[in-house]
Structure 1
């Protein structure tokens, strides 16, 4: 049997009617059923209550307004077409029991919470969609970056030593990212929810978010590359941990997992899921119709 397999592999390219790429895809069984993942990069609906943000008061979005609520309903109806079997939210697994309790209260029409909590994407998209699909729970999978657990001897914790390190590119690019943030606030306010989410989920915008962190990788020295270490142990490490948490919630091959997460995580998460032989990745833009 093994000799036959080797003989087939040694046949000239194209003899079996398959390109090398198709052959490798066949080896990894890409034509078979695998858990499918839909990554929805989101802006935090609760704004400043969730993330550090400098959005001017006049550009802050009220996700509980009638207009925005209609847009959210349309978004949820579109996402329902993906038919998710599990919904992943940006919260730590240790809070699973708390979110189960909140979701049960929501199902029973007895959820009493601040307007900030009611406005966030976990309730507006996660709870609403889970109820619509009769799902029993949601899955918090967030993780803390490894850098916070490192010993004081590690190079990432020598960042203070280089805090005054100067480089003309730091100020140059920071000014441009500040300009982008200002434009982003205006765009979010003036766009519909669907329009803005299409923008956030475009490959160019997701890559641009990582670029801001890459400016800092030159900090430190060849002996103490704290910028590179910090990038790996903070930004990259956190997202690999999130990915691994999602791996562990898979129960069956026909799983369909919707991941609702801050858009700045999407470049890493998309790269990881696209490279993984365990998953198939679906394009989210077809669910973000105007």
Structure 2
């Protein structure tokens, strides 16, 4: 009996294995099916960009009272404001919305017109420093008030809560949030305005900030066990009203709206905007770069 050459023997043995290895592997079936595009993802849509800010001139209305002032009217900071305005102008907004109550639109119009006509100087407020400057640069006839007071009854109940009771709730978490606020308060004095606003508008900082609404006041039970929960709905109510006001500015696909607002509003407003089928949310950090 003749012997089979070793090379041929190996080919006989490995041939089926190589054939299996080279055969296409069937793809596993998708565990979840993506829904069809019922909402026209590629259709032209109004664009919305949100700039979350700290208050350049704090009015002392928030629970944390800043310990460090930002001298926004100093020559150095004014150069930084100008750089910020130049950066935001690249978005080419068609409308600029600011954190002013809608009933005060007439007063806002008068203040803006006085500034444009040279009859008034800008205050340190971010509405003036960023909103007015940018609107004038782009030749806008006005800026838009979009803020709304929360439901009056809920707002009154919020201030009727016993603060001593609140102080006894979640002392550990309240202390940690105060650490965060203190850190941010001091950080703004060390960073350029654009760099600090990039930090303020980062997803992680926005996510962390929203956590403050599920502690302390949120846990005040009241008679039915949900007083604190009901009180927090005033904050959600206010932000949903703000979004409704924004919708009124975005009636056409070519609209590009810039909202300038306190960063604490971003978690709710961004969530509503991202899930809305009508608008495209633009990440402001794409524009927060020094020229």
TM-score, structure 1 length as denominator?
A: 0.81
Q: CA deviation at 1:204?
A: 1.2
Alignment of 1:227-266 (within 5 A): 227-232=228-233, 234-266=234-266
User: Using a 3 Å threshold, how does the CA distance of structure 1 residues 151 and 48 change in structure 2: closer, same or farther?
Assistant: closer
Counterpart pick for 2:42 among 17, 31, 34: 31
Task: Look up the match of 2:56.
Answer: 45
Task: Look up the match of 1:284.
Answer: 284
Are 1:44 and 1:50, in contact at CA under 8 Å, matched by a contact in 2?
Answer: no
Task: Look up the match of 1:6.
Answer: none
Are 1:44 and 1:51, in contact at CA under 8 Å, matched by a contact in 2?
Answer: no
| Aligned-partner SS, 1:130 | helix
- CA offset digits 1:63-95 (Å, max 9, x no partner): 011111111111111111111000000001111
Q: CA deviation at 1:163?
A: 5.7
- CA offset digits 1:211-247 (Å, max 9, x no partner): 1121132320693311211112x21111011101111
Task: Look up the match of 2:226.
Answer: 225
Work out the number of aligned pairs and report it.
258
Task: Look up the match of 2:205.
Answer: 205
Query: When you count helix as a share of all residues, which structure comes out higher?
Result: 1
CA distance in 1, matches of 2:113, 2:155: 41
| Aligned-partner SS, 1:90 | strand
Q: CA deviation at 1:110?
A: 1.1
CA distance in 1, matches of 2:174, 2:104: 35
CA distance in 2, matches of 1:73, 1:151: 37
Q: CA deviation at 1:49?
A: 6.0
Alignment of 1:1-290 (within 5 A): 20-21=33-34, 24=36, 26-48=37-59, 51=62, 53-56=64-67, 59-112=68-121, 118-146=123-151, 148-149=152-153, 160=161, 164=165, 170-216=170-216, 217-220=218-221, 223-232=224-233, 234-290=234-290
Segments of 5+ residues of structure 1 without an aligned counterpart are 1-18
Are 2:49 and 2:259, in contact at CA under 8 Å, matched by a contact in 1?
Answer: yes
User: Using a 3 Å threshold, how does the CA distance of structure 1 residues 219 and 78 change in structure 2: closer, same or farther?
Assistant: same
Segments of 5+ residues of structure 2 without an aligned counterpart are 1-31
Max Rg structure: 2
User: Using a 3 Å threshold, how does the CA distance of structure 1 residues 65 and 53 change in structure 2: closer, same or farther?
Assistant: farther
For the aligned residues, what is the CA RMSD?
2.5
| Aligned-partner SS, 2:83 | helix
Are 2:177 and 2:212, in contact at CA under 8 Å, matched by a contact in 1?
Answer: yes
Are 2:155 and 2:231, in contact at CA under 8 Å, matched by a contact in 1?
Answer: no
TM-score, structure 2 length as denominator?
A: 0.81
Runs of 4+ that moved beyond 6 A: none
